[in-house]
Amino acid sequence: MQQAQTAAEAAPPSARAIAGGAVETVLSRGLNVRHIRFMALGSAIGTGLFYGSASAIQKAGPAVLFAYMIGGAAVFMVMRALGEMAVRHPVSGSFGQYASRYLGPLAGFVTGWTYVFEMAIVAIADVTAFSIYMGFWFPAVERWIWVLAIIFFLAALNLLSVKVFGELEFWFSLIKVVAIVAMIAGGAAIIAFGFQAGGATVAPGLGNLVEHGGLFPNGFEGLLASFAVVMFAFGGIETIGVTAGEAADPKSVIPKAVNTVPVRVLLFYVLTLGVLMSLFPWNEIGTNGSPFVQIFSGLGIPAAPHILNAVVITAALSAINSDIFGAGRILFGLARQGHAPASFGKVSRHGVPWLTVVMMAGILLVGVVLNAVIPEDVFLLIASIATFATVWVWVMILASHVAMKREIARKNLPASEFPSPWWPAASVLTIVFMALVIAILGAFEDTRVALYVGAVWLGLLVVAYRLWVRGHGRVRADLVDETANETAGMSAGEPAGTAPVQPAP
Protein backbone atom coordinates (compact mmCIF):
# COMPACT_ATOMS: atom_id res chain seq x y z
CA MET A 1 0.00 0.00 0.00
CA GLN A 2 2.74 2.44 0.99
CA GLN A 3 4.69 1.63 -2.16
CA ALA A 4 1.63 2.40 -4.27
CA GLN A 5 1.22 5.75 -2.51
CA THR A 6 4.83 6.64 -3.10
CA ALA A 7 4.53 5.82 -6.78
CA ALA A 8 1.39 7.89 -7.04
CA GLU A 9 3.05 10.87 -5.41
CA ALA A 10 6.00 10.57 -7.77
CA ALA A 11 3.80 10.59 -10.86
CA PRO A 12 3.02 13.87 -12.62
CA PRO A 13 -0.15 15.57 -11.30
CA SER A 14 -1.95 15.18 -14.62
CA ALA A 15 -1.17 11.48 -14.72
CA ARG A 16 -2.39 11.03 -11.18
CA ALA A 17 -5.62 12.80 -12.01
CA ILE A 18 -6.24 10.79 -15.14
CA ALA A 19 -5.44 7.40 -13.71
CA GLY A 20 -8.39 5.70 -12.14
CA GLY A 21 -5.95 3.26 -10.64
CA ALA A 22 -4.50 6.03 -8.49
CA VAL A 23 -7.79 6.75 -6.80
CA GLU A 24 -7.75 3.88 -4.38
CA THR A 25 -4.14 4.52 -3.34
CA VAL A 26 -5.24 7.53 -1.29
CA LEU A 27 -8.50 6.24 0.14
CA SER A 28 -8.44 3.90 3.11
CA ARG A 29 -9.56 0.33 2.41
CA GLY A 30 -11.49 0.00 5.67
CA LEU A 31 -14.69 -1.75 4.54
CA ASN A 32 -14.83 -5.49 5.19
CA VAL A 33 -17.30 -8.19 4.15
CA ARG A 34 -19.66 -7.51 7.06
CA HIS A 35 -19.80 -3.76 6.33
CA ILE A 36 -20.50 -4.06 2.62
CA ARG A 37 -22.93 -6.95 2.98
CA PHE A 38 -25.08 -4.96 5.40
CA MET A 39 -24.70 -1.82 3.31
CA ALA A 40 -26.12 -3.91 0.47
CA LEU A 41 -28.99 -4.98 2.71
CA GLY A 42 -29.60 -1.47 4.00
CA SER A 43 -29.65 0.09 0.56
CA ALA A 44 -32.81 -1.90 -0.22
CA ILE A 45 -34.69 -0.67 2.87
CA GLY A 46 -35.42 3.01 3.08
CA THR A 47 -37.98 5.72 2.43
CA GLY A 48 -39.09 3.95 -0.74
CA LEU A 49 -40.27 0.95 1.29
CA PHE A 50 -41.51 2.48 4.53
CA TYR A 51 -43.18 5.50 2.96
CA GLY A 52 -43.35 5.06 -0.80
CA SER A 53 -44.84 1.56 -0.81
CA ALA A 54 -48.28 2.90 0.12
CA SER A 55 -48.25 5.18 -2.94
CA ALA A 56 -47.20 2.32 -5.20
CA ILE A 57 -49.93 0.07 -3.78
CA GLN A 58 -52.59 2.73 -4.36
CA LYS A 59 -51.56 2.96 -8.01
CA ALA A 60 -51.36 -0.74 -8.86
CA GLY A 61 -53.13 -2.64 -6.09
CA PRO A 62 -51.82 -6.20 -5.48
CA ALA A 63 -50.24 -6.07 -8.96
CA VAL A 64 -47.52 -3.95 -7.38
CA LEU A 65 -45.91 -7.26 -6.37
CA PHE A 66 -45.24 -7.94 -10.06
CA ALA A 67 -43.81 -4.43 -10.44
CA TYR A 68 -41.32 -5.06 -7.64
CA MET A 69 -40.33 -8.43 -9.09
CA ILE A 70 -39.85 -7.04 -12.61
CA GLY A 71 -38.03 -3.98 -11.33
CA GLY A 72 -35.93 -6.13 -9.01
CA ALA A 73 -34.88 -8.41 -11.86
CA ALA A 74 -33.80 -5.39 -13.92
CA VAL A 75 -31.87 -3.93 -10.97
CA PHE A 76 -30.13 -7.26 -10.46
CA MET A 77 -28.85 -7.15 -14.04
CA VAL A 78 -27.63 -3.58 -13.49
CA MET A 79 -25.81 -4.69 -10.35
CA ARG A 80 -24.24 -7.68 -12.07
CA ALA A 81 -22.98 -5.38 -14.84
CA LEU A 82 -21.63 -2.95 -12.24
CA GLY A 83 -20.16 -5.81 -10.23
CA GLU A 84 -18.25 -7.15 -13.23
CA MET A 85 -16.74 -3.72 -13.87
CA ALA A 86 -16.05 -3.09 -10.16
CA VAL A 87 -14.10 -6.35 -9.80
CA ARG A 88 -12.13 -5.56 -12.95
CA HIS A 89 -11.55 -1.90 -12.00
CA PRO A 90 -12.07 -1.39 -8.22
CA VAL A 91 -12.01 2.41 -8.05
CA SER A 92 -14.05 4.80 -5.91
CA GLY A 93 -15.18 6.83 -8.90
CA SER A 94 -17.03 3.66 -9.89
CA PHE A 95 -19.58 4.02 -12.69
CA GLY A 96 -18.58 7.63 -13.36
CA GLN A 97 -15.07 6.44 -14.20
CA TYR A 98 -16.35 3.40 -16.10
CA ALA A 99 -18.48 5.62 -18.31
CA SER A 100 -15.50 7.89 -18.92
CA ARG A 101 -13.26 4.93 -19.75
CA TYR A 102 -15.62 3.05 -22.08
CA LEU A 103 -18.05 5.69 -23.40
CA GLY A 104 -15.93 8.83 -23.32
CA PRO A 105 -15.20 11.73 -20.94
CA LEU A 106 -18.50 13.51 -21.61
CA ALA A 107 -20.41 10.37 -20.62
CA GLY A 108 -18.34 10.10 -17.45
CA PHE A 109 -18.96 13.75 -16.59
CA VAL A 110 -22.73 13.45 -17.11
CA THR A 111 -23.01 10.12 -15.28
CA GLY A 112 -21.03 11.23 -12.24
CA TRP A 113 -22.81 14.53 -11.78
CA THR A 114 -26.24 12.99 -12.39
CA TYR A 115 -25.57 10.53 -9.57
CA VAL A 116 -24.58 13.41 -7.29
CA PHE A 117 -27.81 15.16 -8.33
CA GLU A 118 -29.77 11.99 -7.54
CA MET A 119 -28.19 11.62 -4.11
CA ALA A 120 -28.78 15.30 -3.31
CA ILE A 121 -32.50 15.06 -4.13
CA VAL A 122 -32.98 11.82 -2.23
CA ALA A 123 -30.98 13.09 0.76
CA ILE A 124 -33.07 16.26 0.97
CA ALA A 125 -36.21 14.09 0.90
CA ASP A 126 -34.73 11.86 3.60
CA VAL A 127 -33.77 14.69 5.96
CA THR A 128 -37.26 16.09 5.51
CA ALA A 129 -38.74 12.67 6.33
CA PHE A 130 -36.48 12.46 9.39
CA SER A 131 -37.79 15.79 10.69
CA ILE A 132 -41.38 14.61 10.22
CA TYR A 133 -40.66 11.39 12.11
CA MET A 134 -39.06 13.30 15.00
CA GLY A 135 -42.11 15.55 15.07
CA PHE A 136 -44.15 12.50 16.12
CA TRP A 137 -42.31 12.48 19.44
CA PHE A 138 -41.53 16.20 19.73
CA PRO A 139 -44.37 18.09 18.03
CA ALA A 140 -43.42 21.40 19.65
CA VAL A 141 -39.94 21.44 18.09
CA GLU A 142 -39.60 23.12 14.68
CA ARG A 143 -38.78 20.66 11.90
CA TRP A 144 -35.82 22.65 10.59
CA ILE A 145 -34.03 22.19 13.93
CA TRP A 146 -34.02 18.42 13.44
CA VAL A 147 -32.80 18.82 9.87
CA LEU A 148 -29.93 21.02 10.99
CA ALA A 149 -28.96 18.68 13.83
CA ILE A 150 -28.87 15.52 11.75
CA ILE A 151 -26.87 17.17 8.95
CA PHE A 152 -24.09 18.19 11.31
CA PHE A 153 -24.17 14.87 13.16
CA LEU A 154 -23.86 12.68 10.07
CA ALA A 155 -21.39 15.00 8.35
CA ALA A 156 -19.13 14.77 11.41
CA LEU A 157 -19.33 10.96 11.35
CA ASN A 158 -18.51 10.85 7.64
CA LEU A 159 -15.39 12.93 8.26
CA LEU A 160 -14.03 10.12 10.41
CA SER A 161 -12.51 7.01 8.87
CA VAL A 162 -14.51 4.94 6.39
CA LYS A 163 -14.52 2.13 8.96
CA VAL A 164 -16.68 4.31 11.23
CA PHE A 165 -19.09 4.79 8.34
CA GLY A 166 -19.15 1.03 7.73
CA GLU A 167 -19.87 0.27 11.39
CA LEU A 168 -22.65 2.86 11.50
CA GLU A 169 -24.28 1.39 8.39
CA PHE A 170 -23.94 -2.11 9.81
CA TRP A 171 -25.97 -1.28 12.91
CA PHE A 172 -28.50 0.88 11.07
CA SER A 173 -29.08 -1.90 8.56
CA LEU A 174 -29.28 -4.57 11.25
CA ILE A 175 -32.11 -2.69 12.97
CA LYS A 176 -34.02 -2.37 9.69
CA VAL A 177 -33.53 -6.02 8.77
CA VAL A 178 -34.72 -7.21 12.19
CA ALA A 179 -37.78 -4.96 11.94
CA ILE A 180 -38.69 -6.25 8.48
CA VAL A 181 -38.29 -9.88 9.53
CA ALA A 182 -40.44 -9.21 12.62
CA MET A 183 -43.14 -7.64 10.43
CA ILE A 184 -43.17 -10.62 8.07
CA ALA A 185 -43.22 -13.16 10.91
CA GLY A 186 -45.91 -11.29 12.83
CA GLY A 187 -48.06 -10.78 9.74
CA ALA A 188 -47.71 -14.42 8.74
CA ALA A 189 -48.83 -15.46 12.24
CA ILE A 190 -51.94 -13.30 11.94
CA ILE A 191 -52.78 -14.86 8.57
CA ALA A 192 -52.06 -18.43 9.69
CA PHE A 193 -54.05 -18.28 12.93
CA GLY A 194 -56.82 -16.03 11.66
CA PHE A 195 -56.45 -13.21 14.18
CA GLN A 196 -58.47 -10.12 13.42
CA ALA A 197 -55.87 -7.45 12.66
CA GLY A 198 -56.44 -4.20 14.47
CA GLY A 199 -58.19 -1.60 12.32
CA ALA A 200 -59.04 -4.13 9.59
CA THR A 201 -62.58 -4.18 8.21
CA VAL A 202 -62.24 -7.73 6.83
CA ALA A 203 -60.61 -10.92 8.04
CA PRO A 204 -56.93 -11.36 7.13
CA GLY A 205 -56.00 -13.96 4.54
CA LEU A 206 -54.48 -14.48 1.11
CA GLY A 207 -57.92 -13.87 -0.36
CA ASN A 208 -57.42 -10.15 0.20
CA LEU A 209 -55.00 -10.21 -2.74
CA VAL A 210 -57.79 -10.99 -5.21
CA GLU A 211 -61.12 -10.15 -3.54
CA HIS A 212 -61.07 -6.37 -3.89
CA GLY A 213 -61.00 -5.80 -7.62
CA GLY A 214 -58.63 -8.64 -8.45
CA LEU A 215 -54.88 -8.65 -8.84
CA PHE A 216 -55.07 -5.74 -11.29
CA PRO A 217 -57.79 -3.48 -9.82
CA ASN A 218 -56.49 -0.45 -11.75
CA GLY A 219 -55.64 -2.41 -14.87
CA PHE A 220 -52.33 -2.65 -16.67
CA GLU A 221 -52.08 1.14 -16.64
CA GLY A 222 -51.97 1.10 -12.84
CA LEU A 223 -49.12 -1.40 -12.95
CA LEU A 224 -47.14 0.86 -15.30
CA ALA A 225 -47.82 3.95 -13.19
CA SER A 226 -46.42 2.25 -10.09
CA PHE A 227 -42.96 1.89 -11.66
CA ALA A 228 -42.23 5.58 -10.92
CA VAL A 229 -42.30 4.80 -7.19
CA VAL A 230 -41.08 1.19 -7.42
CA MET A 231 -37.84 2.11 -9.19
CA PHE A 232 -37.32 5.00 -6.76
CA ALA A 233 -37.36 2.43 -3.95
CA PHE A 234 -34.36 0.65 -5.51
CA GLY A 235 -32.42 3.89 -6.02
CA GLY A 236 -29.09 4.02 -4.21
CA ILE A 237 -28.45 0.30 -4.48
CA GLU A 238 -25.65 1.14 -6.92
CA THR A 239 -23.70 2.56 -3.95
CA ILE A 240 -22.38 -0.99 -3.53
CA GLY A 241 -20.20 -0.34 -6.58
CA VAL A 242 -18.86 2.87 -5.05
CA THR A 243 -17.49 0.88 -2.11
CA ALA A 244 -15.09 -1.03 -4.39
CA GLY A 245 -12.34 1.53 -3.95
CA GLU A 246 -12.47 1.18 -0.16
CA ALA A 247 -13.20 -2.52 0.17
CA ALA A 248 -10.47 -4.58 1.80
CA ASP A 249 -10.96 -7.38 -0.76
CA PRO A 250 -13.20 -6.14 -3.62
CA LYS A 251 -12.80 -9.34 -5.68
CA SER A 252 -14.47 -11.31 -2.89
CA VAL A 253 -16.72 -8.75 -1.24
CA ILE A 254 -18.44 -7.16 -4.26
CA PRO A 255 -19.72 -10.42 -5.83
CA LYS A 256 -21.12 -11.60 -2.49
CA ALA A 257 -22.97 -8.31 -1.97
CA VAL A 258 -24.31 -8.12 -5.53
CA ASN A 259 -25.59 -11.69 -5.51
CA THR A 260 -27.83 -10.96 -2.51
CA VAL A 261 -29.96 -8.54 -4.58
CA PRO A 262 -32.64 -11.09 -5.64
CA VAL A 263 -33.07 -12.31 -2.06
CA ARG A 264 -33.41 -8.75 -0.78
CA VAL A 265 -36.05 -7.92 -3.39
CA LEU A 266 -38.09 -11.03 -2.62
CA LEU A 267 -37.79 -10.69 1.16
CA PHE A 268 -38.00 -6.97 1.79
CA TYR A 269 -40.46 -5.96 -0.89
CA VAL A 270 -42.42 -8.83 -2.39
CA LEU A 271 -42.88 -10.89 0.77
CA THR A 272 -43.38 -7.88 3.06
CA LEU A 273 -45.97 -6.21 0.85
CA GLY A 274 -47.61 -9.56 0.10
CA VAL A 275 -48.13 -10.08 3.84
CA LEU A 276 -49.34 -6.50 4.24
CA MET A 277 -51.95 -6.77 1.49
CA SER A 278 -53.10 -10.12 2.89
CA LEU A 279 -53.75 -8.47 6.25
CA PHE A 280 -55.57 -5.46 4.86
CA PRO A 281 -57.42 -4.77 1.60
CA TRP A 282 -55.05 -2.87 -0.67
CA ASN A 283 -57.35 0.18 -0.79
CA GLU A 284 -57.12 0.57 3.01
CA ILE A 285 -53.32 0.57 3.13
CA GLY A 286 -51.81 3.94 3.90
CA THR A 287 -55.16 5.63 4.44
CA ASN A 288 -54.78 5.53 8.23
CA GLY A 289 -51.09 6.24 8.71
CA SER A 290 -48.05 4.19 7.74
CA PRO A 291 -48.80 0.71 6.39
CA PHE A 292 -46.21 -0.72 8.75
CA VAL A 293 -47.90 0.83 11.78
CA GLN A 294 -50.93 -1.14 10.65
CA ILE A 295 -48.97 -4.40 10.90
CA PHE A 296 -47.70 -3.65 14.40
CA SER A 297 -51.13 -2.49 15.52
CA GLY A 298 -52.59 -5.69 14.10
CA LEU A 299 -50.29 -7.65 16.40
CA GLY A 300 -51.89 -5.91 19.36
CA ILE A 301 -48.69 -4.12 20.36
CA PRO A 302 -49.69 -0.91 22.22
CA ALA A 303 -46.38 0.80 21.45
CA ALA A 304 -46.64 -0.02 17.72
CA PRO A 305 -46.43 3.59 16.48
CA HIS A 306 -43.38 4.26 18.65
CA ILE A 307 -41.61 1.08 17.55
CA LEU A 308 -42.29 1.85 13.90
CA ASN A 309 -41.20 5.46 14.33
CA ALA A 310 -37.87 4.32 15.75
CA VAL A 311 -37.40 1.98 12.78
CA VAL A 312 -38.21 4.58 10.13
CA ILE A 313 -35.92 7.09 11.84
CA THR A 314 -33.15 4.49 11.62
CA ALA A 315 -33.98 3.94 7.95
CA ALA A 316 -33.81 7.68 7.27
CA LEU A 317 -30.48 8.04 9.09
CA SER A 318 -29.05 5.12 7.15
CA ALA A 319 -30.25 6.55 3.84
CA ILE A 320 -28.81 10.02 4.53
CA ASN A 321 -25.54 8.46 5.65
CA SER A 322 -25.28 6.43 2.44
CA ASP A 323 -26.24 9.44 0.31
CA ILE A 324 -23.39 11.50 1.78
CA PHE A 325 -20.93 8.63 1.33
CA GLY A 326 -21.93 7.74 -2.23
CA ALA A 327 -22.11 11.28 -3.59
CA GLY A 328 -18.85 12.17 -1.86
CA ARG A 329 -16.92 9.29 -3.38
CA ILE A 330 -18.27 9.98 -6.86
CA LEU A 331 -17.27 13.64 -6.49
CA PHE A 332 -13.83 12.43 -5.46
CA GLY A 333 -13.62 10.37 -8.64
CA LEU A 334 -14.84 13.31 -10.74
CA ALA A 335 -12.11 15.51 -9.27
CA ARG A 336 -9.47 12.91 -10.13
CA GLN A 337 -10.73 12.91 -13.72
CA GLY A 338 -10.70 16.70 -14.03
CA HIS A 339 -14.51 16.82 -14.05
CA ALA A 340 -14.84 18.62 -10.71
CA PRO A 341 -12.72 21.12 -8.78
CA ALA A 342 -9.38 19.54 -7.81
CA SER A 343 -10.05 20.36 -4.14
CA PHE A 344 -12.65 17.58 -4.07
CA GLY A 345 -9.81 15.11 -4.64
CA LYS A 346 -8.06 15.97 -1.38
CA VAL A 347 -8.29 13.55 1.51
CA SER A 348 -7.92 13.92 5.26
CA ARG A 349 -5.39 12.04 7.37
CA HIS A 350 -8.13 9.43 7.87
CA GLY A 351 -8.26 8.79 4.13
CA VAL A 352 -11.63 10.56 3.68
CA PRO A 353 -12.35 13.11 0.89
CA TRP A 354 -13.42 15.71 3.43
CA LEU A 355 -14.46 18.54 1.11
CA THR A 356 -17.00 16.34 -0.65
CA VAL A 357 -18.61 15.62 2.72
CA VAL A 358 -18.73 19.35 3.48
CA MET A 359 -20.33 20.04 0.10
CA MET A 360 -23.03 17.42 0.63
CA ALA A 361 -23.74 18.88 4.06
CA GLY A 362 -24.11 22.30 2.41
CA ILE A 363 -26.54 20.89 -0.15
CA LEU A 364 -28.57 19.29 2.63
CA LEU A 365 -28.90 22.67 4.30
CA VAL A 366 -31.32 23.41 1.46
CA GLY A 367 -33.56 20.96 3.28
CA VAL A 368 -33.75 23.43 6.17
CA VAL A 369 -35.29 26.01 3.83
CA LEU A 370 -37.50 23.52 2.01
CA ASN A 371 -39.02 22.36 5.28
CA ALA A 372 -40.40 25.83 5.71
CA VAL A 373 -41.91 26.22 2.24
CA ILE A 374 -42.63 22.77 0.75
CA PRO A 375 -45.77 20.85 1.72
CA GLU A 376 -45.52 17.25 2.84
CA ASP A 377 -47.41 15.85 -0.16
CA VAL A 378 -44.63 16.36 -2.70
CA PHE A 379 -43.16 12.89 -2.18
CA LEU A 380 -44.32 11.65 -5.60
CA LEU A 381 -42.69 14.62 -7.33
CA ILE A 382 -39.37 14.11 -5.52
CA ALA A 383 -39.56 10.36 -6.12
CA SER A 384 -40.19 10.77 -9.85
CA ILE A 385 -37.29 13.23 -10.31
CA ALA A 386 -35.00 10.91 -8.36
CA THR A 387 -36.28 7.99 -10.44
CA PHE A 388 -35.27 9.75 -13.66
CA ALA A 389 -31.76 10.42 -12.33
CA THR A 390 -31.46 6.88 -10.96
CA VAL A 391 -32.60 5.19 -14.17
CA TRP A 392 -30.30 7.40 -16.25
CA VAL A 393 -27.31 6.33 -14.13
CA TRP A 394 -28.36 2.69 -14.50
CA VAL A 395 -28.60 3.04 -18.28
CA MET A 396 -25.08 4.49 -18.36
CA ILE A 397 -23.83 1.59 -16.20
CA LEU A 398 -25.34 -0.88 -18.67
CA ALA A 399 -24.00 1.00 -21.69
CA SER A 400 -20.51 1.11 -20.13
CA HIS A 401 -20.71 -2.60 -19.47
CA VAL A 402 -21.72 -3.34 -23.07
CA ALA A 403 -18.78 -1.27 -24.32
CA MET A 404 -16.41 -3.06 -21.94
CA LYS A 405 -17.58 -6.51 -23.05
CA ARG A 406 -17.14 -5.54 -26.68
CA GLU A 407 -13.62 -4.29 -25.98
CA ILE A 408 -12.76 -7.50 -24.12
CA ALA A 409 -13.88 -9.52 -27.14
CA ARG A 410 -12.23 -7.21 -29.69
CA LYS A 411 -8.85 -7.13 -27.94
CA ASN A 412 -9.01 -10.73 -26.72
CA LEU A 413 -8.51 -9.61 -23.09
CA PRO A 414 -8.72 -12.04 -20.15
CA ALA A 415 -12.27 -13.08 -19.26
CA SER A 416 -13.89 -11.32 -16.31
CA GLU A 417 -13.74 -12.99 -12.92
CA PHE A 418 -17.36 -12.04 -12.16
CA PRO A 419 -19.13 -12.07 -15.55
CA SER A 420 -22.68 -10.82 -15.93
CA PRO A 421 -25.07 -13.71 -16.72
CA TRP A 422 -27.07 -14.22 -19.92
CA TRP A 423 -24.89 -11.85 -21.92
CA PRO A 424 -25.81 -10.08 -24.15
CA ALA A 425 -29.59 -10.70 -24.21
CA ALA A 426 -30.23 -9.77 -20.56
CA SER A 427 -28.28 -6.51 -20.84
CA VAL A 428 -30.14 -5.42 -23.97
CA LEU A 429 -33.54 -6.26 -22.45
CA THR A 430 -32.66 -4.36 -19.28
CA ILE A 431 -31.71 -1.25 -21.26
CA VAL A 432 -35.05 -1.46 -23.11
CA PHE A 433 -36.87 -1.76 -19.77
CA MET A 434 -35.08 1.30 -18.37
CA ALA A 435 -36.08 3.27 -21.46
CA LEU A 436 -39.68 2.16 -20.81
CA VAL A 437 -39.52 3.47 -17.23
CA ILE A 438 -38.36 6.89 -18.47
CA ALA A 439 -41.21 6.87 -21.01
CA ILE A 440 -43.66 6.02 -18.20
CA LEU A 441 -42.54 9.10 -16.27
CA GLY A 442 -43.59 11.21 -19.24
CA ALA A 443 -46.84 9.35 -19.82
CA PHE A 444 -48.48 10.29 -16.52
CA GLU A 445 -49.26 13.87 -15.57
CA ASP A 446 -48.19 13.64 -11.93
CA THR A 447 -44.67 12.44 -12.88
CA ARG A 448 -44.19 14.23 -16.21
CA VAL A 449 -42.38 17.17 -14.63
CA ALA A 450 -39.54 14.76 -13.76
CA LEU A 451 -38.89 14.30 -17.46
CA TYR A 452 -38.69 18.05 -17.98
CA VAL A 453 -36.38 18.52 -14.99
CA GLY A 454 -34.21 15.62 -16.16
CA ALA A 455 -33.93 16.93 -19.72
CA VAL A 456 -32.95 20.41 -18.48
CA TRP A 457 -30.39 18.90 -16.09
CA LEU A 458 -28.72 16.82 -18.79
CA GLY A 459 -28.67 19.82 -21.13
CA LEU A 460 -27.00 21.97 -18.47
CA LEU A 461 -24.37 19.29 -17.88
CA VAL A 462 -23.48 19.15 -21.58
CA VAL A 463 -23.13 22.95 -21.66
CA ALA A 464 -21.02 22.90 -18.47
CA TYR A 465 -18.73 20.25 -19.94
CA ARG A 466 -18.22 22.25 -23.13
CA LEU A 467 -17.54 25.48 -21.26
CA TRP A 468 -15.48 24.48 -18.27
CA VAL A 469 -13.87 21.06 -18.67
CA ARG A 470 -10.36 21.32 -20.10
CA GLY A 471 -7.09 19.42 -20.27
CA HIS A 472 -7.11 15.85 -18.98
CA GLY A 473 -10.85 16.23 -18.28
CA ARG A 474 -11.34 15.77 -22.03
CA VAL A 475 -9.42 12.46 -21.98
CA ARG A 476 -10.90 9.04 -21.26
CA ALA A 477 -10.23 7.71 -17.75
CA ASP A 478 -7.23 5.37 -17.68
CA LEU A 479 -8.09 2.44 -15.39
CA VAL A 480 -5.94 -0.45 -14.26
CA ASP A 481 -7.38 -3.78 -15.41
CA GLU A 482 -6.76 -5.96 -12.37
CA THR A 483 -7.86 -9.07 -14.23
CA ALA A 484 -5.20 -8.34 -16.85
CA ASN A 485 -2.72 -7.60 -14.07
CA GLU A 486 -3.12 -11.00 -12.48
CA THR A 487 -2.92 -12.86 -15.79
CA ALA A 488 0.14 -10.94 -16.91
CA GLY A 489 1.73 -11.34 -13.51
CA MET A 490 1.45 -15.11 -13.71
CA SER A 491 2.93 -15.26 -17.20
CA ALA A 492 5.52 -12.51 -17.17
CA GLY A 493 6.23 -12.00 -13.51
CA GLU A 494 5.04 -8.39 -13.45
CA PRO A 495 1.65 -6.66 -13.47
CA ALA A 496 0.14 -5.14 -16.58
CA GLY A 497 -2.27 -2.30 -16.93
CA THR A 498 -2.63 1.12 -18.45
CA ALA A 499 -2.48 3.32 -15.38
CA PRO A 500 0.91 4.74 -14.40
CA VAL A 501 0.76 3.44 -10.83
CA GLN A 502 0.10 0.03 -9.40
CA PRO A 503 -3.17 -0.59 -7.55
CA ALA A 504 -3.05 -1.08 -3.84
CA PRO A 505 -3.15 -4.71 -2.71
Runs of H (alpha helix) within 288-424: 291-298, 304-337, 354-364, 366-373, 379-411
Q: Using 50, 70 and 90 to split pLDDT, how confident is the model at 201?
A: low
Contact in structure between 353 and 332 (CB atoms under 8 Å) = yes
Measured from the Cβ of residue 156, the count of other Cβ atoms closer than 10 Å reads 11
Residue 502, pLDDT > 60, answer no
Counting residues of the chain whose pLDDT is more than 70, the rounded percentage is 76
Euclidean distance between CA atoms 389 and 496, whole angstroms: 36
Distance CA 396, CA 392 (A): 6
Calpha distance 89→244 (Å, rounded): 8
Q: HSE of 243 in the Cβ direction (CA atoms, 13 Å)?
A: 37
Residue-wise DSSP of 230-282: HHHHHTTTTHHHHGGGGBSSHHHHHHHHHTTHHHHIIIIIIIHHHHHHHHS-G
pLDDT beyond 60 at 198: no
Q: Give pLDDT tens digits for 257-268.
A: 788 878 777 777
User: What does the alpha-carbon distance between residue 111 and residue 131 come to, in Å, rounded to a whole number?
Assistant: 30
- Round to whole Å and give the CA distance between 420 and 398: 11
Q: Compute the Cα dihedral for 215, 217, 221, 226 and give only its sign.
A: negative
Q: What pTM does this model have?
A: 0.81
Coil, strand or helix at 478: strand
Tell whether the model's pLDDT for residue 391 goes beyond 80.
Answer: yes
Tell me what pLDDT residue 164 has: 76
Give residue 474's pLDDT.
92
Average confidence (pLDDT) over 383-410: 91
pLDDT band at 407 (very low <50, low <70, confident <90, very high): very high
> What is the predicted pLDDT for the residue at 372?
62
Express as a percent the part of the chain with pLDDT over 90: 20
Distance from C-alpha of 228 to C-alpha of 235, rounded to nearest angstrom = 11
Round to whole Å and give the CA distance between 132 and 129. Answer: 5
Calculate Rg over the CA atoms of the chain: 23
